[in-house]
Amino acid sequence: MTDTRSQFRPADHPNDHFLLTTVVGSYPKPKWHDRARQLFEDADADFDEDAWAEAKDDAARLITEEHERSGLDVVVDGEMRRNEMVEYFAHRICGYEFNGPVKVWGHNYFDKPSVVDEVEYDETWLVDEFEFTDDVAGRPVKVPITGPYTLASWSFNEVYEDDAELANELADLVNLEIEKLVEAGATYIQIDEPALATTPDDHAIVGETLERIADGIPDDVRLGLHVCYGDYSRIYPEMLDFPVDELDLELANGDFEQVEVFTEPEFTKDLAMGVVDVHDATVESVEEIKENITRGFEIVPPEQLTVSPDCGLKLLPREVAYQKMANMVQAAREIEAELDAGEIDVPAAE
């Protein structure tokens, strides 16, 4: 496996060991951002397209700097320009249309799109977002992108024979977008497939789409796959065959009860492991997070471990989200120092 990880190690990193720290993607939007959106959507308000663009730029700049202030090695802009992980992309893919929100659970609604014609690539989806973030950031930038399996399964399919055919067509479009991102300088791409671990046997569909996505992407570009909480035994060890460098898994929310799933056979990818729970507004202490990080050493040695929250932080209060990140980074740096001193056993290395 090509080493795509070392490029993100800071030149002045204080420890011999290195645990890459990052976030999954989404982050709480500033309250004024939501107010700006309301004004933009109000036909009677004096708030035009330029004002709304400026508000999104300001929010992206602010959250990128907040991520850097927490100490993260790789940052994102918190997805300040995105409203929802499927809807945002469906608006930018030819062949989709919207017919109003559908009820998904309780009082929650989702503007579920329909595929009414063959999907086609038109203008870029994320290149402008990446270029802006990369320009304001002093650290490497990761680009999260919703995967084709989720884009297909969370849409009404009125054209293709089944969701597998639609997902493969969408995978070719995702491949084109990643090529554009790489041309713009992106070196860390994360494919988000949140529902993969909840649906039996669909790992085969995702594996095929990932082969299409990875086709022609340079070896030095780091590809990750984020999978939300579910029964990981449904997709392991098959997921080890996916053409990605890193598998990003939500383990803190389940009290790490599924760690044993990944110990046999050997976990051969890099592991991005959730070590703080994004569903709980309690801020974990540095000591708690350090204990969580060491659970990852049951699966992989330190040189294969990325430290991350379980999932996107967007539903938490902003001050809670920030403190979780800051504590997570401090915990990672302390664990590195203890590894240097030989104070921590690493079962996976044995």
Write down the pLDDT at residue 1.
Answer: 63
Instruction: Determine the 3-state secondary structure of 252 from DSSP.
Output: helix
- In the chain, the percentage of residues whose pLDDT exceeds 90 is 88
Pairing status of strand 108-110 against strand 102-105: antiparallel
Pairing status of strand 156-157 against strand 188-192: unpaired
| Residue range 273-310, pLDDT digits in tens | 999 999 999 999 999 999 999 999 999 999 999 999 99
| Residue range 13-42, pLDDT digits in tens | 999 999 999 999 999 999 999 999 999 999
Write down the pLDDT at residue 104.
Answer: 67
State the Cα–Cα distance between residues 95 and 121, nearest whole angstrom. 9
State the Cα–Cα distance between residues 348 and 199, nearest whole angstrom. 29
Band of the pLDDT at 200, cuts 50, 70, 90? low
**Sign (positive/negative) of CA torsion 34, 316, 146, 223?**
positive
Band of the pLDDT at 255, cuts 50, 70, 90? very high
State the Cα–Cα distance between residues 73 and 323, nearest whole angstrom. 16
CA distances from 87 to 154, 287, 313, 321 (A): 10, 39, 19, 24
| Residue range 117-144, pLDDT digits in tens | 999 999 999 999 999 999 999 999 999 9
Strand order in the sheet with 93-98: 93-98, 113-121, 156-157
Pairing status of strand 93-98 against strand 156-157: unpaired
State the Cα–Cα distance between residues 282 and 181, nearest whole angstrom. 36
Q: What is the pTM of this model?
A: 0.94
| Token pair 């090509």 in the structure block, residue | 2
